[in-house]
Structure 1
Amino acid sequence: MNVIKKEAMEIAAEAQLQRKVSSTHAGSLTSSSNVKESMMVGFDDVQLQLLDRLTGGNRNRQIIPITGMGGIGKTTLARHIFEHALVKEHFDIRAWTTISQTYNVRETLRQVLHQVSGDLRSDLSEEDLGVKLRKYLLSRSKYLIILDDMWSLEVWEKMMVFFPVKNDGSRIVVTTRLSNLATELTNSNSIGMRFLDDVCSWSLFSKTVFGDEGFPLHLEEIGKKIVGKCKGLPLSIAVIGGLLAKSELTPEYWEHIAENISSIVNSENDEYCLRVLKLSYDHLPAYLKPCFLYMGVFGEDEEITVAELMRLWVSEGFLKPIINKSSKIIAKEYLKELVDRNLILVHKLGAVGNIKYCKMHDLVRDLSFQEAEKQRFYYVLGQHCPRGINSQRRIVIPRSTSAMTVRDAMETMSSRARSFLCHADTVPELLDFRFLRTLTTDKDSRKHLEENVFQLVNLRYLSARFREGFQIPSSISLLWNLHTLIVFCWGEPMTAPVEIWKMHQLKHLEIVSLGGMYLPDPPSGHSDVFMENLETLKGVIDFNLNEEVVKRIPNIKKLYISYRHKVMERVKCLSYLSKLESLTCIIDDGSDDEYLQSIGFPRSLKNLRLVCGKFHLEEILEKIGSLPLLEKLHLFTGQFATGSWEIVEGQFPSLKYLRLWRCWNMECWTLEGFCLPRLEQLHLEDMDSLEEFPSEIGEIATLKSIQLYKCSESMVVSLKKIVEEQEELQGDPPFHVIVN
């Protein structure tokens, strides 16, 4: 496939070269006044940043990447800067060339040589053109080269030798959609283009539609609604604004535009928006395309949980196996690639910088829908059920789908379907879907699902909401392929059957329930009955972590457990879980304090959430402080018998995030020696007893933010004093402070 793709790109590049005519750089920079004006409206700060880096005092030749998703304004910014009076005055030589996906190095060098020297010769070879260009640039003063729309490091490696490294302030600006490419081009920071905020979006929209004229008051409310639906993407704002500038100024027509904005943006100007974005999809390697297309199964504006997304990718079989890498690591790498290519947006980060939630811009989601429909990748059920659904392999039922439509679909749906994602209120019967691998339901199921779902022996991923009183049947062990089981159920605690220990492929077991689930001890005398692949276990109560159980889950990495009824002795072997990285442990007040103090923690822990009731914290915090890899600590409730917490030198060597909530009787907090050397975020909530911050907090160089919620006034005063002292020493605020 890679060989065929390479040959196809070479053929396309040759065809593009044949179509091209000699063009002056002025022709390549033709742009509307609206586009130029938009730069003044939306990106003044970015423009100033770029001007500063172009004309700044650093005399070494620099490469300056401009990154961002398609349609966000990279090329428009570069064009505006290229024609800026200060840039024209500063650089002796300027040239602009567009690289594109189907690049041709010889044609690119010829265009640059023509712009800088006026030489139009087309009979020279690639090497001769490059040598002539290099000589010309060496004989002149500082130059500025714009390489627009670069998609590959390969093209730069072929041309870089012809752009001399001079100590005269020369600059090369590269626009690209690939953030990872920018880091390969240079060690310096790239200029990242962001979405427009509400004010800038409105200004761009107003100028596009009405120019310098005032915005009609009777259209202002509906105009802001239209702008809001463009989600800050300059490309869609410009397309919609250009359409409205030529249309009737009636609220009825504008309301029609607002209600159908997505389809209008995609159809206006021969689907110009989608054609711009589709370049990003076309350039994806084959292994990433199904992962991107699958993003369309999530709802519009939905916050997509990254952990859930990666488990679904695994279930669908999208990940290419790599020796010595787990499926989770591979999925993280795939996600990072899509983020670096600006096709997936990072929505929320975790405490230590990991991606927790992601989103897609509406236009990018429309692109995934369109491509998925062309390739019959999945089928989204509409209000009318076509007969062609019987050949689909992945079925998505949106929330708005009526019960009648769901029933009609089930009559024609093929029993060969592999994936079924139901978000509607009606969960259909699945009587003969033995090939089903992925099943998700958002609403409470009927009895038929509870009776039949555990007969779908090819299931890999099951996430379902069951009725109150549901119990997992012993037939669960028949699902020998299952690697993810998520059960939503309200009511009293459920008890898992002992047969669950026979599920060798199970990696993720999660019970989302107020009552939780009792997990019985594995059957004695059966050494081959264990869950060797289990990595995540959530929602289990009174889990008996004895030596025998620990042996049966040797690869557990995430554990969410709670204890009640004085059974804290059940965690005595917790420290034997040598691969455990994340632990949430909720301890009921009914347990004995002596058992809390006897808990041992595995040294592999990176994330710890501890709910301690009213137990004493001093001794347990001393154990936690010695954990070498711990990065996040959430400590909820508990009390300090001595009234103070002293962190001594060497404790918490890797801690980046610390959160304390309602830790009673903590009146004094002291830091001794070199401790908390990597702390970045500190959150304190309902810490009424604590009167002041330790002054050493201000000396932690890595600290980025402190948040206080419902804390004493004296604490706020002491923190303000620390900030002022550090400002006098450093000149800038040392960290960000939020007080509520």
Structure 2
Amino acid sequence: MAAYAALVNVMHIIEQIQLHPSPPISLDQKQVQSLTENITFLQEFLEVYPHDGSQEAYDLEGRIRDATHAAEDLIESHIVDRIHGGSTSSYQNLWKVIKDIVDRIRCGSTSSHGENSNDLYQDLGQVIKDIDFIKKEVVEIKAKKEIQDDKLHRQYSMPSVGSWRTSAPASENIMVGVDDILNEILERLTGHQSKRLLIPIVGMGGIGKTTLARNVYAKPIIKEYFDICAWVTVSQDYNLQEILLEILLSSKKDESSRETLRGMSEEELGEKIYKTLSGRRYLIVMDDMWSIEVWDKLKFFFPDNNNRSRIMITTRQSNLSFHLIGSHGFRMKLLDDDKSWNLLCKNVFGEEGCPRELEKIGKKIAETCKGLPLSIAVIGGLLAKSERTPPYWKYIAENLNPIVNLEDGAHCLKILSLSYDNLPVHLKPCFLYMGVFPEDMAIPVSRLVKLWVAEGFLKPISEKCLEEVAEDYLKHLIDRNLISVHRRGSSGKIKSCKIHDLLRDLCLREAQKEKFFCVPREHSPNMLQSINTERCIVVHSSTWRYDEYSRQLRSLICDFQGYTPPHTCILLRVLQGDDMSSYIQETSKDVNFGTDIFQLVNLRYLALTVGPHLNPKLTSSMGLLWNLQTLIIKGGISHRLAVAPSEIWMMPHLRHVMLEKLYLPDPPSVEEEKPVFVLRNLQTLSEVINFRCGEDVVKRIPNIKKLKVVYSNRFDEGSRRYRTYNFSRLHKLETLACGSFSMRGSYLSRNLTFPHSLRKLTLWGTSLGWEEMSSKVGSLPLLQVLKLDIISCEGPEWKPVEGQFCSLKYLQIQSCDDLEYWTADETNFPLLEQLVLVDLTELKEVPSGIGDIPTLRSIELTYCDSAVNSAKKIADEQEELGNLDLQVQVVLKNKILESLQTRNFKLGKN
């Protein structure tokens, strides 16, 4: 929802100006107070009264969005003008555009600008009046809605058409690939547990939850086993009285007529249900439940007769399932390619087989549906009543998503849109933003979170940084089955996620409708006409070229090489590109970022990839980027440094700085700098070469969470200057990667110390003794992931001390060439889940006590041939003890012996 996102973003802009030690502009405090009050009021209105789908709601939100955009345009363009002195024609043209926007959104106000059109105070004052005018209109709307809601509550009015359905169809629907879960549900329904059970079926919209429940409900064994079976569909806009009424009617145990029952109150209906169900074994199916609220109101009417009664629930909300029973319940997954093809065949041909000439293209169609039964059912229905020829099926395969939405758009889109409509308003911008990423992309969560923060639509939460807010929002979207987890890291955190193609299409459609962002599609006849009004543009096509973007463009994301934004886009906040060569100028031996990129003074997010022949060297003009939060530069000459200017220490809004080889100068002395800048927001800093962790640096980065440093003789300045003992003073540090080249046994390695806040530690080339490893690392109370890479530790034997590594879950030891023996059991690693050993050529055996650790799930050995027999022995012993959860996988340098394989012991590929 673009209006809400715009409101939150303006609040961020005001806050960033006020928090900056040396802000580029100053705002009138009375205007700030007035603007803040109005924006806060409109935010709260949108949170309480979400979009109802009406044209009036679209119009109102459009006016809120435009007025709020005008406010941010005025403020940010004034910043540009102030920093650059207003000397270029581009800025003068920009002011003309801004004035046009202000005039366009006046909402009927007749007051005019003062004589000086560049006067921020006057222009912002006019926009505040416009927003205040909208606020007054919203006050009236809010009052009317409260009256209507009160009437609905008192009169028990009927729900809107389609908000509930009466009963499940008696016949079974076509299903494929869910026999196992169907049988599990039947077993749970008819099992011996006497107390009343709740059985949730969870999954994304269109995945087949209701179909599965219908098939279960229609089984003869269910009708025989339960005295009473009742089905009610709850949906989003439920009406409690109607739900109770339908339960009574579908149970077929009450002789009262619908008219008689409709005259009863909720309490009377509930009491009647309780009496009807008492003493009987019952099954109630509550289909399409969206909130725990409805269950909290209904649960008192379902007695626990201690006679194996059951309540089956279908929902898209994983968190609802957790609330009900403390687990995911029966979670439905997308179909694989074979099951998708099987389901498509059944929908198209019934019991007949598919003609051979259609099989190949048919499998491609099924694969393109990405395992969503709803998509397969819609396209199957189309193919069943259409010509069965290879050319026609090929056309369908090449145009699948548009055809699915067109063929049964009212049904298919409505089902998926329900999930979006049900989202709280603060989650809607986050969900829509998923459409920014290319189809089928495994979206890196780290990148997604940084973009969400930079775009400015995350509402702050007390005691949490914005990245933590973003991670919470992502989890909420996953719980609602709108986004799926693609990969988790060694610590269990989500590394990447995915969105189904049809849901992405929904994002694109809603985003375009709300003017949230635009993804240009080639050969679109209307695209060129509207492109110059967009504020966020995402370019995926390598053939797309267009140079007349709006001067109000705020975000430009280019996922292909050789493209740069026009220089007129001076208000950009987010810029991401794969090859930005035209922004780079060659000077002598280095390659500097040119002055053009530093005209974009409002940048918050700058992520660029440079060619392998270039060496990025940041100039002092970088300090103009007063509000920069994220700087990511990839590529460049592998053996050259990217030298940061001293101005980097005067950029207080920095949150993440990530370059492949970064030279970081010392902070300016206090005498030279007024005021002193503390980078309180800085969380990520990598990859810093020969990082000098002096006291002045520690004070400047008090909240650093993730740090990667590399020490090398190639750029050596004397290891005593590095002060690695000060790492322990970085009290918020959670992830540290520290490596050393050609400095084995040095002063640097001997003086390494670590903060107790560490959760993940990666070392290489540090040449620590194994005793040092135990004393310095083993005592870290929160450490969950430890990766010991090449020559991180030296010595033939490691004897961990009892009681150490108390939180460690993941341990990797790689290329520690002289390690021969080590001991380990549950007293050393009580919570260990994964053990990974790589290229330990001298290791004689895996410690036998490892297998006794109750939490251990996997052991992986790669090129540790001498230790294979001990790993095999551990797997066999655990299998004999009934521990089938522990899996051991081995990759050998020598010939793979297939005869070694067992259920718990797998041989991987070399």
- 2:517 maps to which of 353, 378, 401: 378
1:677 is aligned to 2:830: yes
Tell me the SS of whatever aligns to 1:386: helix
Taking structure 1 as reference, are residues 591 and 518 closer, same or farther at Cα in structure 2, changes over 3 Å only?
Answer: farther
- Counting only pairs closer than 5 Å after superposition, residues 116-131 of structure 1 correspond to structure 2 as 116=251, 117-118=253-254, 119-120=256-257, 121=260, 122-131=262-271
Matched, 1:725 2:862: no
- Aligned residue in 2 for 1:334: 473
Rounded Cα–Cα distance in structure 2 between residues aligned with 1:429 and 1:308: 21
| 1:567-591 alpha-carbon deviations (Å, 9 max, x no partner) | 4431232222111110011110235
Three-state SS of the structure 2 residue aligned to 1:196 is coil
SS at match of 2:761: strand
SS at match of 1:561: strand
1:432 aligned to 2:568? yes
For each residue in 1:656-701, what CA deviation from the matched residue of structure 2 results, as whole angstroms up to 9, or x when unmatched?
0001111111111112671101101111111121121111111101
| Letter paired with 2:197 | Q
Correspondence for 1:525: 670
Match of 1:398 in 2: 540
CA distance in 2, matches of 1:249, 1:609: 58
State the SS of the aligned residue for 1:481.
coil
The answer to whether the aligner puts 1:42 opposite 2:177 as a matched pair is: yes
Relative distance call for 1:10 and 1:150 in structure 2 (3 A) is farther
Name the CA distance, whole Å, in 2 between partners of 1:574 and 1:300: 42
Q: Distance in 2 between matches of 1:134 and 1:286?
A: 37
In the TM superposition, what is the alpha-carbon distance from 1:45 to its structure 2 partner? Answer: 0.6
Instruction: Tell me: CA distance 1:221–1:495, structure 2 relative to 1, closer, same or farther (3 Å).
Output: same
Structure 1 gap segments, 5+ residues each: none
Q: CA deviation at 1:315?
A: 0.9
Residue from 342, 350, 354 that aligns with 1:211: 350
> What is the Cα-based RMSD across aligned positions, in Å?
2.2
Structure 2 residue corresponding to 1:737, chosen from 884, 888, 892: 888
- Which residue in the other structure is 1:114 paired with? 249
DSSP-derived class of the 1:703 partner:
coil
Mapping for residues 518-557 of structure 1, pairs under 5 Å = 518-526=663-671, 528-557=676-705
Query: Once the 2 structures are TM-superposed, how far is the Cα of residue 87 of structure 1 from its aligned partner?
Result: 1.4
2:529 to 387, 404, 408: 387
CA distance in 2, matches of 1:475, 1:355: 36
CA contact (8 A) 1:435 1:458 kept: yes
Q: For each residue in 1:685-739, what CA deviation from the matched residue of structure 2 results, as whole angstroms up to 9, or x when unmatched?
A: 1112112111111110111111111111x4222122222222333x232412222
Assess, with a 3 A threshold, how the Cα gap between structure 1 residues 15 and 135 changes in structure 2: closer, same or farther: closer
TM-score, L = length of structure 2: 0.76
Q: Which amino acid aligns with 1:706?
A: I
Counterparts of 1:145 and 1:511 in 2: how far apart (Å)? Answer: 58
For 1:707 and 1:518, how far apart are their aligned partners in 2? 37
Structure 1 counterpart of 2:603, which letter? L
Q: C-alpha displacement at 1:168, in angstroms?
A: 0.7
For residues 651-690 of structure 1, what are the structure 2 equivalents within 5 Å?
Answer: 651-671=804-824, 674-690=827-843
Does the CA contact (< 8 Å) of 2:321 and 2:327 recur in 1? no
Structure 1 residue 323: Cα displacement: 1.6
Identity %: 47
- Determine the C-alpha separation between the residues in 1 that align with 2:762 and 2:490: 13
Q: CA deviation at 1:488?
A: 2.2
Cα distance per residue 1:619-645 (max 9 Å; x no partner): 234311111111001111127654111
Contact 2:835 / 2:859 at 8 angstroms: preserved in 1? yes
Aligned in 2, Cα 1:476/1:510: closer, same or farther, shift over 3 Å? same
Q: Does 2:273 correspond to 1:133?
A: yes
Q: Secondary structure at the match of 1:325?
A: coil
- Mapped partners of 1:130, 1:577: distance in 2: 59
**Once the two structures are superposed, what CA deviation does each residue of 1:348-405 show, in whole Å capped at 9, x if it has no partner?**
0111221110010001101101111111111112325512222211111113333xxx
Deviating runs (4+, > 6 A) in structure 1? 6-15, 20-24
SS of equivalent residue, structure 1 residue 596? helix
Distance in 1 between residues matched to 2:150 and 2:785, nearest whole Å: 50
2:682 counterpart SS class: coil
Matches within 5 A, 1:415-426: 415-426=551-562
Aligned to 1:441: 577
Alignment of 1:501-512 (within 5 A): 501-512=649-660
Q: For the Cα contact (< 8 Å) 1:726–1:734, is it kept in 2?
A: no
State the SS of the aligned residue for 2:460. Answer: coil
Cross-structure match for 1:499: 647
1:184 corresponds in structure 2 to: 323
Deviation at 1:4, TM superposition (A): 3.4
Match of 1:475 in 2: 621
State the alpha-carbon separation in 2 of the partners of residues 652 and 164 from structure 1: 49
Contact in 2 for aligned 1:347/1:357 (Cα 8 Å): yes
Measure the CA separation in 2 of the matches of 1:15 and 1:553.
Answer: 59
**Correspondent of 2:435 among 296, 307, 322:** 296
TM-score by length of 1: 0.93
Residue pair 1:585, 1:610 contacting (<8 A) in 2 also: yes
SS of equivalent to 1:262: helix
Q: Check conservation: 1:450, 1:466, Cα contact below 8 A.
A: no
Worse overlay, 338-347 or 372-381: 372-381
Identify if the C-alpha distance between structure 1 residues 587 and 142 changes in structure 2 by more than 3 Å, giving closer, same or farther.
Answer: same
Q: Secondary structure at the match of 1:572?
A: helix
Q: Does 1:611 align with 2:755?
A: no
The residue correspondences of 1:246-395 to structure 2 (distance < 5 A) are 246-384=385-523, 385-395=527-537
Structure 1 pair 247–501 and aligned structure 2 pair: CA distance change class (3 A): same
Matched residues in 2 for 1:193 and 1:358: separation? 17
CA contact (8 A) 1:389 1:414 kept: yes
Deviation of the 1:465 alpha carbon: 2.4
* Cα separation, partners in 2 of 1:450 and 1:11, compared to 1, 3 Å: farther
C-alpha distance in structure 1 between counterparts of 2:164 and 2:799, whole Å:
74
Give the aligned partner of residue 464 of structure 1: 608
> Which has the higher mean CA deviation after the structures are superposed, 53-62 or 14-23?
14-23
CA shift in 2, pair 1:280/1:672, >3 Å:
closer
State the alpha-carbon separation in 2 of the partners of residues 78 and 171 from structure 1: 13
Distance in 2 (alpha carbons) for counterparts of 1:370 and 1:518: 44
Instruction: Determine helix, strand or coil for the equivalent of 1:602.
Output: coil
Q: Distance in 2 between matches of 1:573 and 1:22?
A: 63
Relative to structure 1, the CA distance from residue 698 to residue 23 in structure 2 (aligned partners, 3 Å threshold; closer, same or farther) is closer
Deviations, residues 227-274 of structure 1 (Å, cap 9, x unaligned): 111111111111111111111111111111111111111111234222
The aligned counterpart of 1:240 is: 379
Instruction: Confirm or deny: 8 A CA contact 2:164 2:232 kept in the other structure.
Output: no
Q: 1:18 to 1:196 in 2, by over 3 A?
A: closer
Task: State the match for 2:340 in structure 1.
Answer: 201
Change in CA separation of 1:672 and 1:205 when aligned onto 2, cut-off 3 Å:
closer
Cα 1:220/1:54, change in 2 over 3 Å? same
Report the Cα distance in structure 2 between the residues aligned to 1:244 and 1:12, rounded to whole angstroms: 45
Alpha-carbon distance in 1 for matches of 2:843, 2:560: 49
Query: What does residue 68 of structure 2 align with?
Result: none
C-alpha distance in structure 1 between counterparts of 2:294 and 2:788, whole Å? 52
Partner Cα distance (2:160, 2:536) in 1: 43
Q: Secondary structure of 2:408's match? A: helix
Aligned amino acid, residue 827 of structure 2: F
Q: Matches of 2:318 and 2:506 in 1, distance apart?
A: 20
Counterpart of 1:81? 216
**Corresponding residue SS for 1:562:** strand
Higher relative contact order (CA 8 A, sep 6+): 2
1:597 and 2:744 correspond: no
Which residue of structure 2 aligns with residue 57 of structure 1? Answer: 192
Residues 617 and 639 of structure 1 are in contact (CA less than 8 Å); yes or no, is this contact kept in structure 2? no
Assess if the C-alpha contact under 8 Å between 1:568 and 1:596 holds in 2. Answer: no
